[in-house]
Chains A and B, each alone.
Chain A
């Protein structure tokens, strides 16, 4: 039943994009058209809205949104502030809360947690001048997990929606980034660099038990759990440049998704669980694309 629902929304999305005249080639759909540098695409509101950050000017990275019912209309800013860089935006499951990394001063980064309905926001306070990165909401929408370097290595931390009740989740060597929750909220996948380059791990939040999912001499980064929690999309340079891959949640059945000679990066899942949205460089221009992903049973064993 759930699968049928996914299939239905998947086909509806393709039909909608086709009717809008948006290009569909090889199971791939282009969702932006200006070619400026882009990053961090994410579907919200059950796939009806796409958000991402892009270089609005040579001195400004801005978070924007695109209504999927009118992709060709292009992006509009999410926030009024047109002075601060806004990157790595995340949304709570109910869409009410957003969290993003923001720069408001020289070498001053902060992580904002914003109530989009009440238009009020909270900031996370740490000692030092480290950089806040990669926020993610817990599936119950009550906490935000993020990366921050307070006294050296970049670690994962957790706070409530008011930026309080701060807890350190990891205490490891190397840099730790890109946390992503399983749908039950019991585990997080992330990347860490202690093995000489970024590898992907998954950790049980209660026991702290950690399992390494990738073993590769080049980077494996930006893991994102699929909506059903069974698979992880990620980026790797193992085949010569940035390409997007999908693997099972236990690290098995690695599937290469993109084969573009240029850079494919920043993947995240469409809520239908059958497509990935990502930033792709083509002939020197960067735009957002949506690509089909085969279901696990359709993928041959690695």
Chain B
């Protein structure tokens, strides 16, 4: 028996390392030696089916009932103002705000029975990205950090990227579960952003006093600059800095790595398909990073949850203007960018081994508020899964007639994280060794 410590982990279907060992032991005279078979099995298990994960993090809590789980027969005080349209998935309707995604539902599967334990943004953000509450402590690692530790870097590129303006937050504070957590700051995400015109910025390289790849002429000068930057850091920042140092050097010194960030390599037509928005161009950048085999890319819809506040970048937290902003802004942007991304991945043959997941930290109250909007709702929301072995064209899980609670098995963030990990080859043994995703199980219905 392989010992998994005190972690109650569960594998998804398919050959696990354990089953490979059993098979290899039972059939010793197959092609190659037992050790070769074991090595191959270990390599396959380490990589998993999924080479890259792209998580579209719809920060702020998108309204599930106004998007992917409409309730047109609910009472007036619940149902929204939008009509519904059929999708390519039999029996599944979306609101009329998402026509492009509806026309592509044969490429992905929707879960309508997600639940979480926290009703506030930073807390729910941490739960949604780590599987665990902040106050249970210590802060658990982001799903991306787990995959990053397991996989390591792809060439010169860091293994875990955040694409967006900053670490997700609300006005009072940022979330705790954004990065490495118990695995250490070395597994924090590497932040990169693209503006609506596709100009890419890498804030962590700001430490290099504005040095750009074009100005880096030789390794000696580069290292001098990196050492200078390191001296400016306090001790607490050193661990992070060493990783940034390595990543920065890799990014600046490796032409292939730099190329991954160059959206001008894309045709105007391709860039246009994603839309002239920060989220759209961020999705395009994510596709390029997946193409470069970066293991985990989290595209943040916004830095702030606040949807209509000065200096905030229009998150999904629609306490006011819920119906108006979904109609005028959020859904058209998401509909376009998601559709372009899944088409692009599909056409380039990347969808088979790239997992594309879209979700927020919770849904919104099915009952319309007294300011004609919707509040936080942790008891029911959606997630959208594509690629990486997910069987597409289905709707898994069902909510009740008003969209208030699941009437099928509730899917938790821990289920989500464990499923991501399994698909990336982070099996039960590896999770136990890392002491992550304790008690998690896979969403078998997806596979």
Contact = CB atoms under 8 A, between A and B. Distances in A.
Contacts of A103: 308-310
A259 interface: no
Nearest to A285: B276
A209 interface: no
B203 interface: no
Interface in A72-108: 83-85, 103-108
Interface in B73-91: 76-77, 79-83, 85
Given A107-B309, A131-B320, A174 B276 contact: no
A107 B306 contact: yes
A273 B196 CA distance: 35
B76 A194 contact: yes
B391 interface: no
B303 to A, nearest CB: 9
A284 B272 contact: yes
Nearest to A197: B83
A116 interface: no
A286 B195 CA distance: 15
B85 A128 contact: no
Chain A binding site: helix, strand, loop or mixed by DSSP?
loop
Chain B binding site: helix, strand, loop or mixed by DSSP?
loop
Interface in A22-50: 35-37, 39
B96 A219 contact: yes
A149 interface: yes
A39 B372 CA distance: 22
B403 to A, nearest CB: 15
A125 to B, nearest CB: 15
Contacts of A218: 83, 85, 96
Given A35-B276, A84-B310, A241-B99, A152 B81 contact: no
B329 interface: yes
A151 interface: yes
Interface stretch (B311-319, B354-362, B408-416): B311-319
Interface string A164-204: 00000000011101000000000000000110111000000
Nearest to A59: B313
A217 B171 CA distance: 39
Nearest to A106: B309
Contacts of B276: 35-37, 284-286
A215 interface: no
A174 B310 contact: no
Contacts of A149: 370-373
Contact of B81 (A55, A174, A265, A284): A174
Contacts of A84: 310
Given A106-B171, A131-B372, A217 B320 contact: no
B81 A263 contact: no
A163 interface: no
Interface string A57-68: 011100000000
Q: Which 5 A-B pairs have the closest CB atoms?
A: A193-B81, A149-B372, A283-B272, A284-B272, A130-B371
5 contacts: A37-B329, A105-B310, A106-B309, A219-B81, A281-B275
